[in-house]
Amino acid sequence: MALLALGINYRQRWSWLVIPTWITAVATLGLFAGAVVTAVYAQKTFASQAEELHEQRVFNGRQVAFNDKQLEILQNQRKLALEADRRQRTGHSSPGTWACVGSPCSPDWPAHCP
């Protein structure tokens, strides 16, 4: 519309052959305006996605730390389970104590058992 106003204002000669040129010019301006709106929308979308990506990376960092701690706990539990299984097979109930096997009347009764 602005180009049409400028053309009339500068007293351009009108002919039917100029109309397609004006239509093309107006359509081009419309496409340009659409491209500007699209670029603004794309920039806003990109900014929000970048923020979401940052939040996801922070969460992933915390998750890695949590997983490492959980792995350490599971490894310690496995070590304790293996140690308990080993002690059960050898007959020791806990480190530093003895399990008295047999009865006080038997000859193999240890002297340190009550």
Distance (Å, rounded) from C-alpha 36 to C-alpha 55?
29
Note the pLDDT tens digit of each residue in 51-76. Answer: 999 999 999 999 999 999 999 999 99
Task: Give the tens place of pLDDT for each residue, 25-57.
Answer: 899 999 999 999 999 999 999 999 999 999 999
**Helices (H), strands (E): how many in the chain?**
2, 0
pLDDT of residue 91: 74
pLDDT the model gives residue 54? 94
**24 located within any domain:** yes
User: Looking at the domain assignment, is residue 11 inside a domain?
Assistant: no
Question: Residue 18 and residue 33: Cα distance in Å, rounded?
Answer: 23
Query: Is the pLDDT confidence value at 16 over 80?
Result: no
pLDDT for the residue numbered 20: 85
**Structural domain includes residue 6:** no
Q: Which domain holds residue 71?
A: 17-90
The 10s digit of each residue's pLDDT in 76-104 is 999 999 999 998 888 765 555 555 555 55
* Any domain includes 5: no
Position 90 scores a pLDDT of 85
The total domain count for the chain is 1
> According to DSSP H, which parts of the chain are helical?
2-9, 19-90
